Amino acid sequence: EPEVTQTPSHQVTQMGQEVILRCVPISNHLYFYWYRQILGQKVEFLVSFYNNEISEKSEIFDDQFSVERPDGSNFTLKIRSTKLEDSAMYFCASTEDPQIGNTIYFGEGSWLTVV
């Protein structure tokens, strides 16, 4: 069964460093998302991406965050200057077409620890 893959599975970084989290969505999917989950808290929406541009971003997704689809397969989340409060599990997700009720599939997540 096709799946969303994410790398790295776990990254420890120093505060102030840049981090890039990578995702390979399911191949025929057109809508991509990043969510995050701080330990013990709910899954929160960060950003959605369609047709090579951001569709919507949350208040969390400030100027420190950016997303990119550099080629036909990868979808990346960059955090420019990490803060302690960025420590969380980051999930990439994708779907073929949510307008017709297609399921949103989640990757296994990337644990980010900022020290």
Partner 1 sequence: QKEVEQNSGPLSVPEGAIASLNCTYSDRGSQSFFWYRQYSGKSPELIMSIYSNGDKEDGRFTAQLNKASQYVSLLIRDSQPSDSATYLCAAMDSSYKLIFGSGTRLLVRP
Q: Quick one: how many helices (H) and strands (E) in the chain?
A: 0, 11
Question: Quick one: which of 75, 82, 87, 107 contacts partner 1 (CB under 8 A)?
Answer: 107
Question: Quick one: which of 19, 25, 29, 48 contacts partner 1 (CB under 8 A)?
Answer: 48
Stretch of 18-26, 66-74, 78-86, 96-104 lying at the interface with partner 1 (CB under 8 A): 96-104
Question: Quick one: which of 32, 94, 109, 114 contacts partner 1 (CB under 8 A)?
Answer: 109
Question: Quick one: which of 53, 62, 72, 101 contacts partner 1 (CB under 8 A)?
Answer: 101
Based on the number of CB atoms within 10 Å of its own CB, is 25 exposed (0-12), middle (13-18) or buried (19 or more)? buried
Residues sharing a CB contact under 8 Å with residue 11, sequence separation 6 or more, in sequence order: 19, 21, 110, 111, 112, 113
Stretch of 18-26, 34-42, 62-70, 80-88 lying at the interface with partner 1 (CB under 8 A): 34-42
Closest CA to 35 of 55, 12, 61: 61
State the Cα–Cα distance between residues 91 and 105, nearest whole angstrom.
10
Residues that bind partner 1 (CB under 8 A): 31, 33, 35, 41-45, 48, 55-56, 89, 91, 98-99, 101, 103-109
